[in-house]
Structure 1
């Protein structure tokens, strides 16, 4: 050795236990294999070669050196070798950790069932996971030549477009929008049937920034889900057809049944007019009551059928006039004549909704209020208040009848639910009320302790243009 600097002296001291001095043999104290390798390095430098090598040492701890060799030349004559050593231990450790991280990340990707690829801006595939490779092999790319690393993912779309697949062009446009940062991600579902096998996949494209702009594309087999969805669509279509036919049948039968009932009521009215015999009038009254009960039930079936099968109309409704029209339907029977109707409606804002459904709601609520009054009670009333607003109509229908016990509040709107058997009714009226209110985007609540009457509060959406 001719000369050295302090860092080199410190390094040799760590390796050999003492620093080398001028005139010392630089290969002293190292093993024969390394000594032979360094002699080769020196010989290369003496032959005018400039080069760099990386050496690892375990004494006293693991460290790595990057050593550059230069020939020393004077007057065209090489008289020696200069060595420049640099400690690159931290760099090597970082690279090692990076490789471990890459292996770890690839291991994670390979464990996923989705087919995943990382792609450059120009469409070049950088890496793919095992699921992607397996799918490629199973679908004609046995050598992984066209769909894996170094191949161009975008070319598959170009080829598809050349073959007339317009959808491929639309998907490629969306992928490039993700690359350009115009959208954060892109999700797409598509069929990919193979031979006689039906298959569907989803595609998810997301961008991430590394040293360069990259995108991750994930294809997931969604065939089981799509098969279930398709079967549900078929079942739903069949069910809708059955329901439609059933609704038409119910409507037709109910409509046909009302005609003879109307005739029977007419005959009952005629007998009542012409007969003065008490027994006859009593029996005719019983017949009329039974016919009315059956007619009300059929009317409710018609309301139910129409509510299910017709779209919601949007028309101006004169609320107060409609209330009085419904009240007029109940004029006649003697047991109702002493009930006082109190109506207070404010219509400063025009109310728009479905008139038929609105009338059905009023008819059923007023009918119930009448039926559940105690005949022997004085001061019977049904109070109807309402006010229209820009966005809604608020209605309140209150009576001082027998009321509804709290234990029934959660059941009162169920189909065919009735409180006892002393009052004639089908148990379908309040169910139709709730269904109609839901169709009109409204709500209904009731207040009653079962002793001092019942109050219904209704809010209906005002759909004014």
Structure 2
């Protein structure tokens, strides 16, 4: 009997433990239901609060329009308000309420009628719900601008002294300078039983004056359908939660706004409530679970846990009896399995250490627990520096909040799902780089850990950017080239037809003129083709760097352009102070210099008596600097942002060109490892080329 004592004790302990666990599971399950319900309640309340805030942002935007303008026309109001209405279907109307003195009434009425509303008048609602002209009084607050008009026709021109809520809200807004909401009521255009809400924002004639009705220009008004605002804010995300909204601004009575609530059917532990300010009104939002889901109900899990525990411990008791007889065999098996497990762990560790991707494990608090060799190459931290540090140390500060949210369970999928992100990492030296991060949460030895795989994608991002830019340039090049090639061809064909007709008629003078025009058109085409060929060579030609004779290249360029129109009237000045050796691609350098000099000659300002071109060179650190400055026509300010783009012509009446010169100069400067820049001097233009003195200095 003694040899069965251990199994008997285990069985008894198992029964006690199973019952205890069943009670614990029942308590935890009830607590989880409570927490989940309250979380859903709070999320629903927050969604409504954000939805109302969104509509207040619309009101602020309209107010900003009127504050920033001396006068806002009806068409401007329509253009500004329409996008808001398209995004917010629950807005009944956006309105401008004009404060009109008694002696101004007819002028405003005539103006509205002239603007396309022939029946416009200042009206108010009679006791039998008819819209009648308002009687004479000192001032009015009619609806003067209105969007949308369709569906709100009765509202245009409406002044409602019969509505004390509207009157009180207007006076409160006028005297406080703040947004002011009415209590909820049935709108005059409402056909159902839904309540509406008016929110006013004052606009004053003197922005720095006192806040009073006498200084009031008018009010911006947003009319919202309360029920739709709340339903749109909630969407379909909270199917098991109900909402009850009431206005408690007046302390003696609470006015129901949305929903119905019976406190007798809901457990008090599952109710969430919050009071929010809606433009001076106090709304209490109460969230609670649907009827039928409002109990801290339990499932079959506790009973299942109890039965499972009893079966488990019964099985353990039976197993102990078997283990007593087979102890030696099990010990040998355990030893063998331990050795196999150790060997498997060593293999896995070897794979992790030698993979090209960085692999690390992160604790629930964000500290790094393991860190493989690839991570050293990516981040520059040794394992003894990285382990124990927070993962945010290796991320750009802009992602720190997202990191905290993720670790705390926000903004990520269920446990076990892989989440992929493209973010910015930070190396040990502080450099930022593009990082691909794959991370998943898992349970390990009873604790939460995160497994992260990281990859440096800086090179890939750079190549993607280059490819995107190249594709965009190719599309523009193909379109503009086909257009510019076709234009002179079409012109030549037409002129040849005219020439043929002139020859047949024997009109030699006409024939000679049209042939001259054909020649000019074909020369234009030939110039474009040459520029395209030059551009192709600029992009694709491989060229070794060599020692450059700067003065010789400049002399040849000036000689080449010595016969250009009006070159003799220019004062060409030289200031070549650079006396070191320049080693770079000769053809690229020549292209840039010749284009700068040619452009300065072509686009001189012949209206000036002292036209000049100043060409200078100097050394700045390890860079050669060439500057070409003139007092010519310059570059229009609105074109300067796209100065170095393809097919950009700035003075087509002065000189014809393909519009590729500045673009080719930019590409040539890039090939030489330098840059070219433009400066508007006020009296003309200054272009500056900066390139390394030699390829070694560029490194």
TM-score where L is the length of structure 1: 0.42
Higher relative contact order (CA 8 A, sep 6+): 2
Larger gyration radius, structure 1 or structure 2: 1
TM-score where L is the length of structure 2: 0.30
